[in-house]
Amino acid sequence: MSDIPSRTKLGTCINVRGTSGSGKTTFAGDLARILNFRHVELDSLFWGPNWTESPDEIFFARITEATAGVGWVVDGNYTRTRSLYWPRLNTVIFLDYPRWFVMWRVISRTFRRSLRGVELWQGNRERLSNALFSKDSIFRWSWNTYARRRAQFTELEGDPANAHIHFIRLQTPQEARRFLQSLAHDT
């Protein structure tokens, strides 16, 4: 990424996307703090206790409420929710790191969370047994969705319906760090 947009060019409605383990939540949280915007973590709105999925009507209502007005950064890739906030979106930032790096991140993050018993959402905690042996393994999910997320970003970027959206692809953690630092110093 050669030119880093100003705060003004980013707009007030932003979506951070990327494969599981790419660092969406951390990046989006940092970006929201720098811009003094709300951070909307889609996973926290979707997952209920005991890893139950929220019904769409509840999930959609939560997203609609969280993205009311302007001044928010949504992190997540839930395709079926795009119609709820994309018409107002100014910028999409895609964390497009190398697959080996994303897999290293998701593996180390999952081990760390599992061993420390970190609570994610609604009392949910990651378990190594699920990560390693479950059909819903986060490792498998991240690996299997990696190429799809990249193709999806390119498709969304080229879609004339999204001509109002500024698309940014960050390809390394260093590039993402420089991006955030530049915005933090942009007064």
| 75-119 residue pLDDT tens | 999 999 999 999 999 999 999 999 999 999 999 988 898 888 888
Task: State if pTM tops 0.85.
Answer: yes
Per-residue tokens: 113: 């969370």
Number of domains in the chain: 1
CATH of the domain at 155: 3.40.50.300
User: Does 1 fall in a domain?
Assistant: no
Percentage of residues in the chain with pLDDT exceeding 70? 95
For 145, the domain range is 7-185
Long-range CB contacts for residues 80-85, cutoff 8 Å, separation at least 24: 80/56, 81/42, 84/60, 85/13, 85/15
pLDDT attached to residue 4: 65
User: Does 78 fall in a domain?
Assistant: yes
